[in-house]
Amino acid sequence: MRAFVVAAYLFLYAPIALVVLFSFNAGRNASEFTGFSVEWYGKAFSNTFLVQALQNSLIIAFVSAVLAAIFGTMAAIAIERMSERARLVFDGLFAAAIVVPGVVIGIATLVALVTMLGLINPLIAGVWPGENPPRIGLGYFSVIAAHGLFTMAVVTMIVRARIAGLGRDMVEASGDLYATPFGTFRQIVLPQILPSIVAGFLLAFTFSFDDFIVAFFVSGSKTTLPMYVFASIRRGVTPEINAVATTVLVASLFLILGAHFLMRPRSNKPVEG
């Protein structure tokens, strides 16, 4: 039993450890460690395509996570106050956003946006006074839109769980003491749900930062970091990819530990997928 569990943990961590180890390999070989070196990190990060992809990923992840945290929290509060029927509709839509595979979300968003832009762009061109009317294309906004869908659902889920755990007594006391509804929200509710909002933000950021398949469909000419990693894997396995992979790994590790830390103090449960 114990041996099996130890083996399972080894199984989970050994491959990752190997990727990290060989990112510091001086040679090119995947089965022979020939010496310690950070040469591959230097190579990777002097590559302008990679730096651009990293920058794109950070912008997309940050914006979609901020929007998801704000709108998701607002939705979570609203859902608590809704009629039973409206709540069921929202629950169903958010559940769909989580359950529908990323491939399908990517395709559906691509199809819809290309169709909509095909209608909107000629309209803009029609009313545009100057010579070169702006064209809206796929890019940051389409990836943010598609990521925001899933991450908003995640934030709403986490914040609602926290709100459900709040006692009504403080809110009622605040009302009895003549606080305005907004005052009650700012001074009583917000401080209590803030950790779950930040945790939701971090999970949203992690998801967006790690997502490959949705961005693959809707990013247009923009390349995100996972898309860059995917493309370089197809070109061939080199220690340079290990260096990039290690960087991605460390980044998401920090984010997830942050989220875990924020969600722990009150519920004794770990972060659950």
Partner 1 sequence: MITAALAAPAAIWLFLFLILPFCAMLVFAFGKRAPEGGYQAAFTLEQFANLPSRAAAFWNTLVLAPIGALLCLLVAYPVAYYLAVKAPPQRRMILVALIVVPFWTSLLVRTYAWMYILGSRGLPNLLDLVGIADVRMLNTPGAVLLGIVYGYLPLMIMPIYVSLEKLDLRLLDASADLGARPASTFFGVTVPLSMPGVITGVALVTILLLGEYLIPQLLGGGKVFFIGNALVDLFLQSRNWPFGSAIAVTMVAVVVIVLAVSMRIAWRFAGARRVDLV
Q: Which of residues 118-137 bind partner 1 (CB under 8 A)?
A: none
Write out the two tokens for 180: 């305005």
Cα end-to-end span (Å), the chain:
25
**Candidate segments 45-53, 80-88, 158-166, 192-200, binder of partner 1 by CB under 8 A:** 80-88
Per-residue CA distances from 10 to 3, 23, 251 (Å):
10, 19, 22
Interface with partner 1 includes 38 (CB under 8 A)? no
Q: Which stretch binds partner 1 (CB under 8 A): 48-56, 124-132, 170-178, 238-246?
A: 238-246
89-108 residues in contact with partner 1 (CB under 8 A) are: 90, 93-94, 96-97, 99-105, 107-108
Instruction: Give the burial string for 145-180 (b: 16+ CB within 10 Å, else e).
Output: bbbbbbbbbbbbbbbbebbeeeeeeebeebeeeebe
Per CB under 8 A, the segment of 37-45, 127-135, 158-166, 203-211 that binds partner 1 is 203-211
Closest by CA to 91, choosing from 109, 75, 105, is 75
Q: Could you tell me which stretch among 41-49, 127-135, 161-169, 225-233 binds partner 1 (CB under 8 A)?
A: 225-233
Of the pair 161, 271, the CB lying nearest partner 1 is at 271
Residues 170-189 that bind partner 1 (CB under 8 A): 181
- Please, what is the minimum distance in Å from the beta carbon of residue 192 to partner 1? 17
Asked if 85 touches partner 1 (CB under 8 A), the answer is no
**Exposed, middle or buried, 43 (CB in 10 Å: 0-12/13-18/19+)?**
middle
Segment lying near partner 1 (by CB under 8 A), choices 6-14, 126-134, 168-176, 188-196: 6-14
Closer to partner 1 by CB, 128 or 186: give it: 186
- Binder to partner 1 among 10, 38, 112, 173 (CB under 8 A)? 112
Task: Tell me if residue 46 falls in helix, strand or coil.
Answer: coil
How many residues touch partner 1 under the rule CB under 8 A: the total is 84
User: Per rule CB under 8 A, is residue 201 in the interface with partner 1?
Assistant: no
3-state secondary structure of 215: helix
Q: Does 270 bind partner 1 (CB under 8 A)?
A: yes
Q: Which CB, 43 or 260, lies closer to partner 1?
A: 260
Residue with tokens 């923009």: 222
Residue 21 binds partner 1 (CB under 8 A): no
Tell me which residue has tokens 């290309």.
114
Residue 154 makes contact with partner 1 by CB under 8 A: no
**Alpha helices of 177-270 — where are they, by DSSP H?**
181-184, 190-210, 213-218, 225-235, 239-263
In the complex with partner 1, which residue's Cβ is closer, 35 or 129?
35
Written as six digits, the tokens of 27 are 């040679």
How many of the other CB atoms lie within 10 Å of CB of 25?
A: 20
Residue 204 binds to partner 1 (criterion: CB under 8 A): no
